[in-house]
Amino acid sequence: MQFVSILMGSKSDAEVMRECAEIFKKFDVPYEMIISSAHRSPVRTKEYVLEAEARGAKVFIAAAGMAAHLAGAISSMTTKPVIGVPMGGGTLGGLDALLSTVQMPSGMPVGTVAIGKTGAVNSAYLAMQILALGNDELAGKLKEDRVMKAKNVELDSAEIEVLL
């Protein structure tokens, strides 16, 4: 079975990453979600990534704050797409996590999204777009979702529009 794997560096990331999981539920995309740290549990992280890949993980999403090395560590263990979600907080409000996630060495790519909740949601959509390359049903659901988003903008506008 194909699925998306969500890893986060600590329990404090769970509330934000549940946003990602909710998107997968909405689209009926199988996912797993675990806590594993690049620094505090590197052996667990490596064992999980290799085992998940063998079981069918097609995309990895890694959420971490501060030094935020989780996505990079995962990228070093797999050739599957890795999406990094920098977490907010800390002294720099998440900027440290953003820079740690996006500044990867050549040949170790991590697709990096926005800090926090928006990044969590966008990581789910990006993962689904990757999966949709080989899944016409999911591609259709994503297209329908875009149509609904556009309609919702029109409905929101109709509530406040003043036109001459």
Q: Cite the annotated binding site for substrate by residue number.
A: 10, 13, 40
Residue set of the binding site:
10, 13, 40
Residue corresponding to tokens 């049903």: 137
Neighbouring C-beta atoms of residue 67, cutoff 10 Å = 16
Q: Which residues of 100-110 are buried (b: 16+ CB within 10 A; e: fewer)?
A: bbbebeeeeeb
How far out from the chain centre does Cα 122 lie?
7
